[in-house]
């Protein structure tokens, strides 16, 4: 049995949960990627402005969860 493909974006998405089949609006959590740490470290060394990458979410992935059954649905990667 194949799981339905869920289209995920950088923000909350209305979809049908593949686990509990409920019509839900996904809960999202942002995860900082390794890339963010590397660019922060580089910026830190070069100009002491390493906090800038942490202020934007350009280098973050978005993890989508079902608010109904709390299951992990998928990740949107930039």
Residue 66 C-beta: closest distance to Zn ion, Å? 3
Beta strand pairing status for 60-65 and 14-16? unpaired
Q: Which is nearer to Zn ion, 19 or 59 (CB)?
A: 19
What SS3 class is residue 36? Answer: helix
Q: Which is nearer to Zn ion, 30 or 72 (CB)?
A: 72
Asked if 72 and 63 touch (Cβ cutoff 8 Å), the reply is yes
Concatenating the DSSP letter of every residue in 41-65 gives HHHHHHHS-TTHHHHS-TTEEEEEE
Q: Hey, which residues between 8 and 27 contact Zn ion (CB under 5 A)?
A: 17, 19-20
68 binds Zn ion (CB under 5 A): yes
6 binds Zn ion (CB under 5 A): no
- Summarize as ranges the residues that interact with Zn ion (CB under 5 A): 17, 19-20, 66, 68-69, 71
């Amino acid at each position: 049995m194949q799981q339905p493909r869920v289209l995920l974006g950088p923000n909350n998405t209305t979809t049908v949960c593949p686990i509990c089949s409920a019509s839900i609006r996904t809960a999202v959590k942002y995860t900082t990627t390794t890339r963010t740490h590397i660019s922060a470290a580089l910026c830190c060394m070069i100009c002491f402005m390493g906090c800038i990458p942490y202020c934007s979410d350009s280098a973050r992935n978005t993890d989508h969860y079902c608010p109904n059954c709390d299951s992990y649905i998928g990740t949107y990667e930039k």
